Amino acid sequence: MSPAHHGGTSSPARRPGQGLPLATRTGLRFKHGLRLAREVSRFGAEQRLWWFVPLVTIVLLFALAVTATTSALPVAVYTLF
Contact 51, 57 (CB under 8 A): no
Contact 52, 37 (CB under 8 A): no
Top-ranked range on mean pLDDT: pick from 21-25, 61-65, 75-79: 21-25
Measured CA to CA, the distance from residue 5 to residue 31 in angstroms comes to 39
Q: What are the domain boundaries of the chain?
A: 50-81
Output the pLDDT for position 73.
64
| Reported confidence tier of residue 5, pLDDT bands at 50, 70, 90 | low
9-13, 33-37, 75-79: least confidently modelled range: 9-13
Helical H segments across 3-72, by residue range: 22-46, 52-67
Average pLDDT, rounded, for the chain: 76
Measured CA to CA, the distance from residue 43 to residue 40 in angstroms comes to 5
Give how far the C-alpha of residue 76 lies from the chain's centroid of Cα atoms, to the nearest Å.
23
Output the pLDDT for position 23.
84
